[in-house]
Amino acid sequence: MVLKGNRYKKEKKTVKNTFSNAWNGIWYTFNNEINLKIHMLAAILVLIGAYILELNYYEIIICMLLIGLVISFELINTLVEMIIDLVSPKYNELAGMIKDVAAGAVLVISITALIIGIAIFLPKILIYIGLWY
């Protein structure tokens, strides 16, 4: 995918185009950022686990919300990195710190999702394997 700065000035704004543009951004990030692939794999495993362990409606809603947040934060982190690379192509200590802060935000939401996931899944797993009643 080639990024074009003038795309929006020439493109007719339709619902189809806006969804297409959003999908292009997700696909670009998926193809270029290993962490998004890891998050997507984790999301698939969570959804499979939710099905196997028969999570209730509210537990599934919480899992879906967390999946959306983690993936969104990863997309925003990629956005921040791209903007920094665009405005500061040479090494700059502040630019590096901005990237680190954005990555830190992804780490915080990922750890939060992991902790909540453990709180939801651990009791269900223990019951499923017969170690807790």
Active site residues: 74
Query: Token match 């698939």: residue?
Result: 44
Polymer length in residues for the chain: 133
Q: How far apart are the first and last CA of the chain?
A: 52
The rounded distance, in Å, linking the Cα atoms of 52 and 66 is: 19
In angstroms, the CA 127 to CA 23 distance is 39
Q: Dump strand ranges (E) for 4-53.
A: none
